[in-house]
Amino acid sequence: MPIINKITAITLFVLFIVNPVHGISETGSAFMSVGSFLEEGGERSGAEISIIVSSAKTFATRFSGVLYIGRNDNEIKDLFGGFSMTGYFHLNQPYINPYLGLGLFLGDTYHCTEEEKEEDECREDVVAAIYPEVGVAINVASIQIYPFARLYNFGDDATYGLNLGLRF
C-alpha cells in the first residue's frame, strides 16, 4: 500500500473511531501536528504527521505517519516509511508539560546500492523499532510546540525533533 494511502487510512481511523470513543471534540484534548527530526550524527532525518489524543488525565497517545531517510551503518541509502504509535505519561500542566513515553514504529525500508538504483531493483524490508521518548509540550492557546528526543533501536545515535500542533 503506498505511503499516502497508509497515512489517509490511519488519519480516518483516528478521526472516526478514536474521536467518538474518547469524546475528543468535546474536551479539546486532541492535536494534529507536523514535525521533523534528525539523528545526532546527522546521517538520518525524517518527517511525521501526527494526531495526539489525551485519553486520561496524565496519559496521551500519538499516532504518526513517518518518513525517515538517510544512510545506514553500511553506508547504503535507507528510506523508511510507516507508522508509529507512542504512549506517554505527562504531568498534566497547562503551559509547559514534560513527558516520558515509549513508542513502536512499523514500516517498510528500502536498501539501495548504486547498482540496484540504476537497475531499479531496490529491495523492500519490513522494519520494526521500539523507542523511548522524552520531551516537553509547550501549549500556547490552541498551538502546541514540543521538542523531543528519541532513541531508536536500529541506530546508536539519539534522534532530536520538533513538532508543531494545532488543537482541533
41-45, 117-121, 128-132, 142-146: segment of lowest average pLDDT = 117-121
Tens digits of per-residue pLDDT, 11-44? 444 444 443 333 333 344 799 999 999 988 777 8
pTM of the model: 0.74
CATH of the domain at 17: 2.40.160.20
Measured between alpha carbons, how far is 10 from 104 in angstroms, rounded to an integer?
15
Of the candidate ranges 4-13, 35-44, 63-72, 100-109, the one whose mean pLDDT is the lowest? 4-13
Give residue 135's domain range: 3-167
Is 100 or 110 the better-scoring residue by pLDDT?
100
* Structural domains in the chain (count): 1
pLDDT at 122 over 60: yes
28-52 in b/e burial notation, b at 16+ Cβ within 10 A?
ebbbbbebebbbeeeebebebbbbb
